[in-house]
Amino acid sequence: MLWIKAFHIIFIASWFAGLFYLPRIFVNLAQESDTAATARLLLMARKLLRFTTMLAVPAVLLGVWLWLGYGFRGGWMHVKLALVLLVIGYHHACGSLLKKFERGANKRSHVWFRYFNEVPVLLLTAIVILVVVKPF
């Protein structure tokens, strides 16, 4: 099980690296007016979203494997799983926002995306504290 846990942590860290950077690209897209630069940023965002999704799948599957192996113990696990669902929802929201940028239908400002960019940091912080400290 330690190998499963190690690879789970590696895939989680990699997944979150993408979730940290993708909204930063959105900040730049929201500010950009040059069509060539916009096209380049959209290409980067599409590739990053695809790669991040490929990292999310094994992260979630390995997490389920750990959950089945160790069991569902403690109230902290309920909260952690709820936060993981929020992370998956955030990932999906990034895909939806990218589609809006591709259609030229984004209505949000770069300032909104700067706040949106902080959400995965808060989620990861809460999840790590729950897993390590197991407060309840």
Identify whether the C-beta of residue 126 lies closer than 8 Å to the C-beta of residue 90. no
pLDDT (0 to 100) of residue 71: 80
Task: Extract the annotated binding site for heme.
Answer: 8, 80
Task: Extract the annotated binding site.
Answer: 8, 80
Q: Provide the residue-wise pLDDT of the chain in tens; the chain has 136 residues.
A: 999 999 999 999 999 999 999 999 999 999 999 999 999 999 999 999 999 999 999 999 999 999 999 887 889 999 999 999 999 999 999 999 999 999 999 999 999 999 999 999 999 999 999 999 999 9
Nearest to 18 by CA among 132, 131, 117, 125: 117
Cα–chain center distance at 14: 10
CA distance 96 to 82: 21
Identify whether the C-beta of residue 79 lies closer than 8 Å to the C-beta of residue 130. yes
